[in-house]
Structure formats: structure tokens, C-alpha cells
Amino acid sequence: MSMRMHFILDENNQPIEVEMEEWAMWLEAHRDECIVKQETLFGHVFVSTVFLGLNHNFMTEPPHIFETMVFPNHRRPTDAMCEEWARRSSTWDEALEVHAEAVQWAHAHYGQWAKFVEDNT
């Protein structure tokens, strides 16, 4: 049994397993469609959920082909690549749920600090 590795999205955002070459061409042509949701909180915390199309759950099912990350300071290039929170998911709907969890996490971890900065500037 071969491991399912490469996926693209259909018109309803449902993943379809494909060969690596088709995945690479689709990804190049559909970059904007890979963004599930992105937002900036408190002016500096960036929450990003994207479709990777590459299975990161190598040993078991279901494939993990979406990724959500929280970056604490996306304005400084040195910090932008240092994620504080990350989780992968299997479907578009699950990715949206995980994104909401990430936003809640960011509010819990950065919300008081952001309010302090706002109140004291």
C-alpha cells in the first residue's frame, strides 16, 4: 500500500490525491487559493492557515495537508519565521476550526500584553 502524499483542492475545497508533478503545477498556478485564512491581531501577531497539499502525517491516516501557525511579530523579518503555535489538519473545514483555536490561543497569550502597550502609548 502506497502512502498518500500529494493533494490538490477541487472547486469545493475538497482534497484530491494526485501525483507529485500535478501537485507541483497546481500549487504554482493556485497560490492564492491555498490561503484558507490569514489575519493580524494586535497589530503584530500573524495567524495564518494555508493548504500545503503535502501530507505531513507520514505514518497514519488521515493526511495532514493544511497548516495553521501563529507568528508573534510579523513586522520584523527575523521574528516572522519563528512560530509560537502550529497545528496541522486534514480538511478545509477542520483548518478553519483550527484557525479559530489559534486566534483564541493568541488572544490568551498576547491579549493582555497588547492592551498594556495600547494603554501606555
pLDDT digits (tens, 9 = 90+) for 88-119: 999 999 999 999 999 999 988 887 766 655 55
Please give the tally of structural domains in the chain.
Answer: 1
- What average pLDDT does range 48-52 have in this prediction? 96
Separation CA 51–CA 42 (nearest Å): 25
Task: Read off the C-alpha cell for 84.
Answer: 509560537
Any domain includes 12: yes
Any domain includes 115: yes
Separation CA 94–CA 101 (nearest Å): 11
Comparing C-alpha atoms, which of 93, 89, 27 is closest to residue 64?
Answer: 89
Any domain includes 93: yes
Any domain includes 63: yes
Q: Which domain holds residue 99?
A: 7-119
Any domain includes 2: no
Any domain includes 35: yes
Any domain includes 94: yes
Separation CA 99–CA 47 (nearest Å): 7
